[in-house]
Chain A
């Protein structure tokens, strides 16, 4: 099956700085890569996703890049704010054929004011 590795496990940044979280995957058939944000005591929330037919996607302060050749994808958060503090999970999926998501271990992001 798929194996998703996520780094770093913890990340601390100063407010206003950028944060980057990286994931690698093993299954070349994976074609859908979502990112979830989970605040303490809350459900995981889908914040952005990318499909294998594009290399980059942006939504305001967050962006995701995908390198299919190297089998890695990254989440970029610019101009970080304290409310960005949360655990972020990457995931990979083969899409509609199987549907299931394979999750990374998560990154605890702390943004210091």
Chain B
């Protein structure tokens, strides 16, 4: 499986500010995803980060609030913009294998715990 890292691991931010979360993978992957997980809840997909094109957002999530970059096949960023306390959550990136070795299997990064005051 891929080795996935995220930065920062946690942060405490003031409302109205923005935070950019980085996701780095140790191998090239086609599909990268960004999820949000609120305390005690399931995983909610925010968007699919496509290399070389715009991200694909799920219903309820918009690019102005959660801009995503995917400059290459091993890296992606998610920005949480103009934060409010409701954005307090864990944000996780995940990657899907691209070849027969682990196609369709998704592996998660360690997550970024965000608290907005």
Identify the A interface with B (CB < 8 A): 32, 34, 36, 42-46, 49, 51, 89, 93, 95-96, 99-101, 103-106
Contacts and interface: CB of A to CB of B under 8 A. Distances in A.
Contacts of A105: 41-42
16 contacts: A34-B105, A36-B108, A43-B109, A44-B92, A44-B108, A45-B108, A46-B1, A89-B43, A95-B104, A99-B104, A100-B33, A101-B43, A101-B45, A103-B42, A105-B41, A105-B42
A32 B31 CA distance: 16
Contact of A99 (B1, B42, B96): B96
Interface in B21-46: 31, 33, 41-43, 45
Interface of B: 1, 31, 33, 41-43, 45, 48, 92, 96, 103-111
**Minimum-distance CB pairs A-B, first 7:** A43-B108, A99-B31, A103-B42, A32-B104, A105-B42, A103-B43, A44-B108
A93 B76 CA distance: 22
A96 B45 CA distance: 17
A95 B31 CA distance: 12
Contacts of A51: 104
B20 to A, nearest CB: 20
B59 to A, nearest CB: 9
Contacts of B43: 44, 89, 101, 103
B104 A96 contact: yes
A34 B105 CA distance: 8
B105 A49 contact: yes
Given A89-B43, A93-B104, A43 B48 contact: no
Contact of A43 (B33, B45, B111): B111
